[in-house]
Amino acid sequence: MPTLTFKATAQEEREIRAAARRQKLTLSAYLRRVALGGGAPAAQPRLVRSRRTGAYVVVSPPGTPRLTSAKVRELLADFP
């Protein structure tokens, strides 16, 4: 596998390594993701207990498009 090399200041190196650690990625995986447009990993939905009913509900991350009945019908249109 080819190796890429580039120059960075000491401060840039610290920031890049810290960003890779925050995302729990190796330095190589982090740089590939950023360079190839993957950016930060998508936020994951989470389970939260409803204060009203006590049931668990899935909470979408901020910025996630709304899931409507029309979208569900569209997604299931080809389902056997």
Name the pTM for this structure: 0.48
Query: What SS3 state is found at 12?
Result: helix
Higher pLDDT, 76 or 40: 76
Give 60-65 contacts, CB < 8 A, sequence gap 24+: none
Amino acid present at 11: Q
pLDDT of residue 48: 94
pLDDT of residue 76: 92
pLDDT tens digits, 3-48: 999 999 999 999 999 999 988 899 999 899 888 887 666 678 899 9
pLDDT tens digits, 41-68: 667 889 999 999 999 998 888 878 888 9
Between 27-35 and 10-22, two packed helices, what is the crossing angle to 10 degrees? Answer: 90
What value does the CA radius of gyration of the chain take, rounded to a whole number of Å?
20
Domain edges within the chain: 46-76
